[in-house]
Structure 1
Amino acid sequence: MPTLFILFGFKFMFYSNDHTPIHIHAVRGGVSAKFNVLPDVVLVENNGMKPAELKLVESIVEENKDIIIERWNTFFNGNK
């Protein structure tokens, strides 16, 4: 379960057996959310995050979109 970064207590990660489309999981305590990254950052699943938390996490994903895509491709495609 590769962790890309931890910001504001949220762990941003994907699972080693994840699937396309490129997406990221954000987890903190007992809450989590999943965002697709391409073509646009879109919330696809919310498990208990409050609206303010979702807004913060979405902005972090948007700001780090290029890093997330690069790390996804490196991990799953061997940088192909």
Structure 2
Amino acid sequence: MPRVFVWKGWEFLFYSLDGSEPPHIHARSGRKELKIWLDSLKVARNSRCRPHEVGELLAVVSERRREFLERWHEHFGN
């Protein structure tokens, strides 16, 4: 599970078995997790995140999208 970035206690990471899905990133903090598609910047799944957290996390992913996509392709080779 490659950790890509850490921000305010949130880990941004990939799960190693996610390579068959379109590029996305997981943001995780404790029991909260958000899965975001990198192409559309849409939420794929929300587990326990509050609306203001979703907004903040989407802003971070938008700012770092290029980096996350590069890391995705480096890790999964696609």
TM-score, normalization by structure 1: 0.92
Q: In the comparison of the two structures, how many residue pairs are matched?
A: 77
Unaligned ranges ≥5, structure 2: none
2:33 is matched with which residue? 32
Q: Percent identity?
A: 32
Counterpart CA distance in 1 for 2:53 and 2:22 is 23
What is the Cα-based RMSD across aligned positions, in Å? 1.0
1:64 corresponding residue in structure 2:
64
Deviation at 1:20, TM superposition (A): 2.0
CA distance in 1, matches of 2:76, 2:44: 21
Gaps of 5+ in 1: none
Q: Quick one: which amino acid aligns to residue 41 of structure 2?
A: V
TM-score normalised according to structure 2 size = 0.94
1:46 aligns to what? 46
- Please state which structure has a larger fraction of its residues in helix: 2
Query: Quick one: distance in 1 between partners of 2:69 and 2:23?
Result: 7
Partner of 1:17: helix, strand, or coil?
helix
